[in-house]
Each structure stands twice: as structure tokens, then as C-alpha cells.
Structure 1
Amino acid sequence: MHKKLLAPAALVAAVGLALSGCASSSGGDAAAPGEIKIDVPDVPMMEQLGDTEDEVNIVAWSGFVEDAWAKPFEEATGCTVNRKVAATSDEMVQLMRTGEYDLVSASGDASLRLIVDGGVQPLNTELIPNFGDDIVEGMKGQLYDTLNGNVYGIPIGRGANILQYDSSVVTEEPTSWDVVWEKDSPYAGKIAAYDSPIYIADAAIYLMEHEPDLGITNPYALDETQLQAATDLLKQQNAMVSEYWSPATNVTSFTGGNSVVGTSWEVLRKATQDEKFKSVLPEEGSTGWSDAWMLAADSKNPNCAYAWMDYTSAPDVNGQIAMNFGMAPANAAFCETSDEAQAHCDYFNATDEDYFKQVWFWTTPIDQCLDGRSDVQCTNYQDWTNAWATVKG
């Protein structure tokens, strides 16, 4: 019989979360905490832990599940860690729907889909002691993984989608996203854009500031008129785009000179290893991503899954994941463990909530308007997928 779920190396007291109606306080009058109620399937939550099973099957981003921390976990719990790396959020959703996996490291453009579909279960945070006061406030209670008072995601890390530029070409630091959206941009033909339907939210953020009559207050809550406006802006940009990038192609797009300005991640800018590439969070704010562990509704190994979520929420392990992937860690205590850890946290703005208040974290658009409107039906992710196909042609 395997060890009871009392703990690999690090365990402390838990907190509950309240629903937050928006991913950011920037750019509009989004619904206040508690105002949004979303109909989701009634999936039961675990009330207590039992003995750990033999394994845990995880769908994760590359770099989230590595031997350096998985092996000690296996030795402490008897749970063999089986990893499946996914390249996109869409792939993660499809893999979780097979019923073959216990856990997923979901970004916000996947998590709400999984919740609304009934594919993941609410989490009992009292059974995850490391989910405590050291978890940064900005990753708690967000709409993309906390609904109707229930927590569905245990934070891993976060990052902003920043404006990256080649300072040898873009010699004056941009202050606005206008350099990638306006048709008179001097960098037309050299603009990098993210290759995903969720990129529609980036257009929506620009429109929030520059076309206020559209009434957009949350870039993930777009009615048909607002979605059409964002799609039109994306089509305008399409003529200027040098490359629609994935994490695998972004770095070479910039270092090869194909792109000189565009949306990016701090870790990708760092990967260029060239000081001429700089970044800025423009005045309109930006989108961003926040990843969290989510547990399958029909998990075959829930005790091992809970053990993994707790283990990877400890400062040292959460920090290893954050440094390996290149993101701000969820557990702020990691930042104080060494000079190297502090430097990492400073680079990724880990504990700077004023910085992240300018960021609208990816949240799956659904029929119910996430900005609190009830007089219209909003567009959902399938609508966004269809619109994105018209942008790229």
C-alpha cells in the first residue's frame, strides 16, 4: 500500500477563494467579484484523501513536468508520473476529453472550456496545504478557473504578452500597440502576431482604448458587433504581418530579421540572447496567460493528482518549474530562496501586482457574457475560431 497523502517535502495551511469577475482591473468597468454566475455541471469535489494510487497521468506544457522534480515525488509517494506534452491549449482540451489523463496544466484559454464542459472537478483546497498565503494574490480567484465560489485550478505561473521590438530598427521605444495595428505603421511587413483564436482579445484590448463607442469592457466578452470589429482590425493587420508565430517559431522570426516588432513573451525575448531585442507593456495593457493544474472530473488517480498539486505548489518545486519554463512563479516565497531566484522573479515581475493589473489573462469566451451583461448573448470560442479562420484566409 502506498503512502498516505501527507507529504513529499513541503506542506502548510490552505485558503479558499472568492470569485473574481475579471482578469484585470485595467481598461473598463468589468463585473465586480461575485456578480458573475455561470451555469456549470454539478461535478462533486473530493471531501477527503485516501491512499495514493500507482500513477498519475498529466497533460502539460513542455518544461512543466521534468525528472528533476518528478523523480523525488515518485519516491516520496509511490505515484509514477506519466507525462504527455501538448503544444497548444486546443490539444490539451482534446486530450483531457479522452478520459485518459488525471491532470492538465491549463491556460485560461482552455480552463473555462473544461469547467463549462464538466471535464474537470472543483478542488478541495484544504487538501492542498501548500496552496496558502504565499501564492500571489493576482493568481487567486480569477474567473478563468474559479467559478461560483469553487476553485478549479491550482496556480503554477503567469506571464504577460508583451510588445517586443528590435531596437536597431525601432529606435524609439513604443508606448502603444498602434505600431502593430494601424495600417500606416512604419513596420508593416515586419510585424509578428500570435497564431491562435485567443489573439482576438489583443485586438479587443486595442479597441477598448481607441474605439470606446464599441462598449468593450472585457476583451473576452464580445457580442457579435464587437467580435466583428476585432476581426476587421485583425484583417487589417493581416496585410502587415510577417509571421504568425508559435513558441517554437517566435525567436527565429526575430533573430532572422523576419520580424522587428510584435507580440511576444518575456521568456522568448530572453531566448534571443541579443540585447538589441527589448520589450514593453504598452499603455493599453495587454493579454497574458496564467497556468493552473486542473483535475479531471473522472480522474482514475485523484489521490496521486492531489499529491502532485500540493508538491508542485511548494516554493522550491514551483520555482523550478517557473525557471525551467520561463515565467513568474505562483509561489512568491520562492523569490526569497536565493539571489538567483530573486533575479528570476524580478525579471518576470513575479510579485509586482501593479504590473499584472494591466494584464487581461486569457479566459475562454463563452455564450454568457463575462462582463456581466445579460441583455445580449456573447460570442463563444467556436465563434472566435471561425472568425480567426477568416483572418488568416
Structure 2
Amino acid sequence: MRSRLTVGAAAVSVAVLALTGCAAAGDEGSASGELVIDVPDVPMHEELGDYEGSVDIVAWSGFVEPAWSDAFTEDTGCVVNRRVAGTSDEMVQLMRTGDYDLVSASGDASLRLIAGGDVAPLNLDLIPNFGDDIVEGMKGQLYDTINGKSYGVPIGRGANILQYNSEVVTEEPTSWSVAWEADSPYAGEVIAYDAPIYIADAAVYLMAHEPELGIENPYALDQEQLDAAIELLKQQNGIVSEYWADPAAQITSFVGGNTVLGTSWEVLRKLTEDDAFKSVLPEEGSTGWSDAWMLSAESDSPNCAYAWMDYTSSPEVNGAIAMNFGMAPANAAFCELDDAAQAHCDYYNATDEEYFSKVWFWTTPIEQCIDGRTDVRCTNFQEWTDAWLQVKG
């Protein structure tokens, strides 16, 4: 399993971005327009050549396994060298060494890599499996599509849902209020995610309960809106039993009874193997994550890298990755392969765009307001990291 961010990791400020133009506001978490910013002009690979013999990949645990990498090597001659990373910050740092060809980046790392010139735009014509079967909700999103160019090949996605122990929380929650309000009947038994990007969860709650703040996108917060989110997080701190970044610790907290409800991933509920633990996507919606393969701007094995992106985008392999980790696959054709595949897709709402329309996928906060505002400056990822330190004191 993996942690996606840690509080102590050195965050790379995106204040260095030279921001131009504006981004159209999305509809409940999806991009309805293109984000236009000034990014380094990295050339796109125009055509495939001979395979170089190896490909070096930075990936989340469970994304690159012998079950499919050996078959890929047999077919292409490209030996797969894997480096498992534990956080998005670690992935950014490793990709900036120039030693890796590919990374399985989440949305909280993607814009940093694009803005830093660390990854290259992709020639989708060279990736045949990136076609009609890739779910629409994972195409052309703000976190990996810039200035009309695609920088990511979708792998999978998931929502940050509200998990609860139904033996204690006997009535299914419909709102996040039980995890945020000071008078929650479960005060002292609430678990929360331990990362600066969790500020967006507070913003999602404020969007529904304090509309006068004018938050239109939880990753586009001006200073007043960020301050409001931090105040809410400080309030929540008073009812939190513990914060989690390590998924195993989250499971232990639920199973051990230290926690009865809080932020989780679908796979974590499944891994508890106890029918008492249930989950719900509350009425306010939620944050979520979407992962994609991104190609290093300095890759010395671009042909093997493109072959890997295409290979892992096939229904069979993309589905195997999704089942191995526990997430919704990017290739919807996987869901039709057999009963087991359909059951997996049903559990993770793989093709339910109405479900995912309520999910705001992690996106790196930048000074340009990605909700379309041009009259204010939004806060960036470094400022979120600094603010997060205030929450826990």
C-alpha cells in the first residue's frame, strides 16, 4: 500500500510558474475547459523507433508487478526496472533526477512535473489503447492536460469516501458533518488524512455549508478561503483521534476501535474484511485521486516507455493493475471481460460518471485560480504545506 503525501516532505513551490490566461471552471470536479499556463516547451515524441532494451519506472506499490512486466519484456525486449515511491513528493524529486523514464503520478504531483519541464507532452497516436474505452472522466482533466496537450495516460481513480463502523454509527451518514463539526457525536473517534492536500477536503465541505465564501473549486483558494479552510481543520483537530498517511495504520485504527468514522479509500474498507465497516460518498461530494503514466522529458528510452504505456492501457493489463491495487480501472472494456472484472468495476464505480461527477480529483494548487477568476491570486502548494503545519500545531 502507499501514502501519497507526507507533511514533512519538502514541497516544491509552484510560485515559480509564470501564469497566463485563465482556466474555465469545472462542473463538480471535472474540467470543462483547458488550463492555460506558461510551461516549458518540451518536444513531443513524433514516431516510434527501435526499443532501447529497458525502461526505468517510478511507481506506486502494486502498479508494476512481475505478472505483467515479465510478459511485456518477453514481447518487446524492454526490461522493466521498477522503483517504488511512497509519496507524491518523492516521485517529483525522483523524476527531477532524470534517471527515470516513467512515473505513475497522481494529480497532486502532475502540475508540478509539467510546470517544471520534467515531463513531456504525449503523442496519443502512438498509444492505440488510449482510445474510446478509456472512461471519459479520466480524459482531458486539469491536472494533466495543459494548453491543449495531454501529459498523462490514465491508470485508475478513486474517491476519498467516508468510512464508518456500522456497529457504532448505526444510521448511515449522509453528510460529512459527523467528521467536521465540533458537536459530532463521534468526537474523539474521527480519523483524518495527514497531508496538505487534505485542505481541499475542508474546502469541499465549506462549498456546501458556507457558500458565501465563494469557493468554486477546492484547489483554487484565495487567501481568505484558505484561512477559512484552516479554521475548519483546526476545529476538526479537536475531535480527531488520529491522522493517517500509512493505509495500514488507518486499517488498524478502525479494527482496533480507536476510530469509528473518517476519511478512507474504497480499498481500505475492503481490506478490513469486516462486514461492520461500511462507506458512503456524502451529499457534499468528496476529493479523490486519479493516477496517470507520465513520460520524463529526459527519457533515454522513450520507445520502451511508449510501449509500456500502451501495453498497460489494454483492458487486461489495466484491469490487472486496478485489481491489484484496489481502484477503478481507466479502461472500461476491462469490466466486460468476465464476472470477476464486472464485480470489481461495480464495487469501485468504475463506469459510473454520475458518482465521479461528485469527486474533485487532487490537483496541485497554483497561483493562477483554476476556477476562472482573474481578479485575485490563489494560494499555491507551498502555502498549503505551510498552512497545514498550523493545523496540527
TM norm structure 1: 0.92
Correspondence for 2:8: none
Does the aligned pair in 1 maintain the 2:127–2:309 contact within 8 Å? yes
Q: Which runs of 5+ in 1 are unaligned?
A: 1-18
User: 2:340 aligned with 1:351, yes or no?
Assistant: no
The secondary structure found in structure 2 opposite 1:373 is: coil
Does the aligned pair in 2 maintain the 1:20–1:142 contact within 8 Å? no
Correspondence for 2:27: 25
Does the aligned pair in 2 maintain the 1:21–1:143 contact within 8 Å? no
Does the aligned pair in 2 maintain the 1:154–1:293 contact within 8 Å? yes
User: 2:41 aligned with 1:39, yes or no?
Assistant: no
Kindly provide the amino acid, as one letter, of the partner of residue 257 in structure 2. Answer: G
The secondary structure found in structure 1 opposite 2:225 is: helix
Show CA shifts across 1:188-228 (max 9, x none): 11111111110000000000011111110000000111111
Correspondence for 1:7: none
> How far apart, in 1, do the equivalents of 2:24 and 2:249 lie?
34
> How far apart, in 1, do the equivalents of 2:74 and 2:23 lie?
38
> How far apart, in 2, do the equivalents of 1:31 and 1:165 lie?
31
Runs of 4+ in 1 over 3 A off after TM superposition: 19-22
Pair 67,50 (structure 1): closer, same or farther in 2 beyond 3 Å:
same
> How far apart, in 1, do the equivalents of 2:339 and 2:114 lie?
39
> 1:116 Cα shift?
1.1
> How far apart, in 1, do the equivalents of 2:256 and 2:178 lie?
20
Kindly provide the amino acid, as one letter, of the partner of residue 261 in structure 2. Answer: V
- Structural mapping, 1:78-227, within 5 Å: 78-227=77-226
Show CA shifts across 1:263-283 (max 9, x none): 100000000000000000000
Correspondence for 1:392: 392
Kindly provide the amino acid, as one letter, of the partner of residue 307 in structure 2. Answer: A
TM norm structure 2: 0.92
> How far apart, in 1, do the equivalents of 2:346 and 2:27 lie?
22
- Structural mapping, 1:185-334, within 5 Å: 185-246=184-245, 247-334=247-334
> How far apart, in 1, do the equivalents of 2:156 and 2:354 lie?
17
Deviates more, 1:49-58 or 1:333-342: 49-58
> 1:170 Cα shift?
0.6
Correspondence for 2:17: none
Show CA shifts across 1:82-105 (max 9, x none): 111111111111111111111110
Does the aligned pair in 2 maintain the 1:58–1:81 contact within 8 Å? yes
> 1:25 Cα shift?
2.1
Kindly provide the amino acid, as one letter, of the partner of residue 212 in structure 1. Answer: P
> 1:158 Cα shift?
0.3
Q: Which runs of 5+ in 2 are unaligned?
A: 1-21
Does the aligned pair in 2 maintain the 1:20–1:141 contact within 8 Å? no
Correspondence for 2:14: none
Does the aligned pair in 1 maintain the 2:104–2:294 contact within 8 Å? yes
The secondary structure found in structure 2 opposite 1:306 is: helix
The secondary structure found in structure 1 opposite 2:94 is: helix
Correspondence for 2:11: none
How much is the aligned-residue C-alpha RMSD, in angstroms? Answer: 1.4
> 1:233 Cα shift?
0.6
Pair 356,20 (structure 1): closer, same or farther in 2 beyond 3 Å:
farther
The secondary structure found in structure 2 opposite 1:263 is: strand
User: 2:366 aligned with 1:366, yes or no?
Assistant: yes
Does the aligned pair in 2 maintain the 1:109–1:363 contact within 8 Å? yes
Does the aligned pair in 1 maintain the 2:295–2:305 contact within 8 Å? yes
> 1:377 Cα shift?
0.9
Count the aligned residue pairs: 371
Kindly provide the amino acid, as one letter, of the partner of residue 386 in structure 1. Answer: D
The secondary structure found in structure 2 opposite 1:38 is: coil
Show CA shifts across 1:121-180 (max 9, x none): 000000000000000000001000011110000000000000000001111110000001
Does the aligned pair in 2 maintain the 1:21–1:142 contact within 8 Å? no
> How far apart, in 2, do the equivalents of 1:251 and 1:85 lie?
21
The secondary structure found in structure 1 opposite 2:251 is: helix
> 1:66 Cα shift?
0.1
> 1:289 Cα shift?
0.4
Deviates more, 1:241-250 or 1:349-358: 241-250
Show CA shifts across 1:296-317 (max 9, x none): 1111111111010000000000
Does the aligned pair in 1 maintain the 2:23–2:370 contact within 8 Å? no
Kindly provide the amino acid, as one letter, of the partner of residue 314 in structure 1. Answer: S
> How far apart, in 1, do the equivalents of 2:23 and 2:280 lie?
27
Show CA shifts across 1:294-353 (max 9, x none): 001111111111010000000000000000000000000000001000000000000000
> How far apart, in 2, do the equivalents of 1:219 and 1:21 lie?
14
> 1:32 Cα shift?
3.9
> How far apart, in 2, do the equivalents of 1:31 and 1:46 lie?
26
> How far apart, in 2, do the equivalents of 1:297 and 1:373 lie?
31
> 1:380 Cα shift?
0.6
> How far apart, in 1, do the equivalents of 2:248 and 2:100 lie?
25
Does the aligned pair in 2 maintain the 1:31–1:371 contact within 8 Å? no
Kindly provide the amino acid, as one letter, of the partner of residue 113 in structure 1. Answer: R
The secondary structure found in structure 2 opposite 1:249 is: helix
Pair 297,344 (structure 1): closer, same or farther in 2 beyond 3 Å:
same
> How far apart, in 2, do the equivalents of 1:148 and 1:195 lie?
32
Kindly provide the amino acid, as one letter, of the partner of residue 155 in structure 2. Answer: I
The secondary structure found in structure 2 opposite 1:345 is: helix
Kindly provide the amino acid, as one letter, of the partner of residue 220 in structure 1. Answer: Y
